[in-house]
A and B are shown apart, each in its own frame.
Chain A
């Protein structure tokens, strides 16, 4: 009996293709999420020390 998951004699090539796509896309998502958290932490740390952008109209180093 054949099922949707029975991919015949070349199944290894099909599964390897989908595994490669999943691996790369998961790595991209992970990298972007971790990088985003890292940048936000750095901004929070700098702002915690009282550093503000000019547009935030607060004197630097006041905290």
Chain B
């Protein structure tokens, strides 16, 4: 009996299943984000940060996703290198630009929050610097892949780089303990969250909505990548067939 992973290993089956699921995931993300925005703009101001705390509701989900997406790329890369799962490389390739976009958003919204709170858009703080390195790592993965024409070689090299680069995730996680201006974890920590419920719930709902949005974008990007590979295969097949016919005519 096939496992779910094995049954999804067939790109055609993935396309059929994802076509049915994608509208539901997209609708769920829109609904949850709309509810989240309603909670965000009725949430009270923070007693220290005032209304700038509203930046947290987009900054923190973007930062969480920047790390989650990289972990997904690493797992997909492992699936490619060890299990040769047919969709593993499709998943890793599709996730890289999305991860770069969420990391970019974490950096930009962090800068826009930092200016009124710290008095500067940027400081060479361990947390900020390590997230900037994560952004460059994403760009490196995209650039490495696009610099190699042969699909299989590009997949293996980017998978190897992504597994090496996973060391950045614990560095980011623990960087707030290294003489950082950035506040320590207040939700994902041992013990109860230190953030008040009136701010915690909008944050969790926005995080759920943005994670659903990422899921929808990732499924769509995977579908596009499968179609792109089909175009490539059809062109190669057409070229082979044309070459064969030319050979027969010459013979």
Q: Is B212 an interface residue (CB 8 A)?
A: no
Using A32-B224, A52-B234 as known contacts, list a sample of 10 further A-B pairs with CB atoms less than 8 Å apart, ordered by residue number in A. A10-B51, A20-B109, A21-B62, A21-B105, A21-B109, A25-B101, A25-B213, A46-B235, A49-B238, A53-B233
B200 vs chain A, min Cβ distance (A):
19
Q: Give, as a whole number of angstroms, the nearest-CB distance from A18 to chain B.
A: 6
Give the total of A residues in contact with B, Cβ under 8 Å.
36
What bracket does the count of chain B residues touching chain A fall in? 35 or more
- Residues on the B chain within 8 Å of A51, using CB: 234-235, 237-238, 241
B238 A60 Cβ-Cβ under 8 A? yes
Query: Which residues of A are found within 8 Å of B45, using beta-carbon distances?
Result: 8
A36-53 interface (Cβ within 8 A of B): 36, 39-40, 42-43, 46-47, 49, 51-53
Complex Cα distance, B227 from A46, in Å, reads: 12
Interface of chain B, main secondary structure = helix
Q: Decide yes or no whether A5 CB sits under 8 A from chain B.
A: yes
A21 to B22, CA, bound (A): 22
B42 on the interface (CB 8 Å rule)?
A: yes
Give the docked Cα–Cα distance between A8 and B231 (Å): 53
B145 touches A (CB below 8 Å): no
Query: Can you list 14 contacts pairing A with B, beta carbon distance less than 8 Å?
Result: A4-B42, A7-B51, A8-B45, A13-B116, A14-B51, A17-B59, A28-B97, A28-B98, A35-B224, A36-B223, A46-B238, A51-B235, A53-B237, A60-B241
A→B interface (CB under 8 Å):
4-5, 7-11, 13-14, 16-18, 20-21, 24-25, 28-29, 32-33, 35-36, 39-40, 42-43, 46-47, 49, 51-55, 60-61
Any A CB within 8 A of the CB of B220: yes
CB of B245 within 8 Å of the partner chain: yes
- Nearest opposing residue in chain A for B104, CB measure: A24
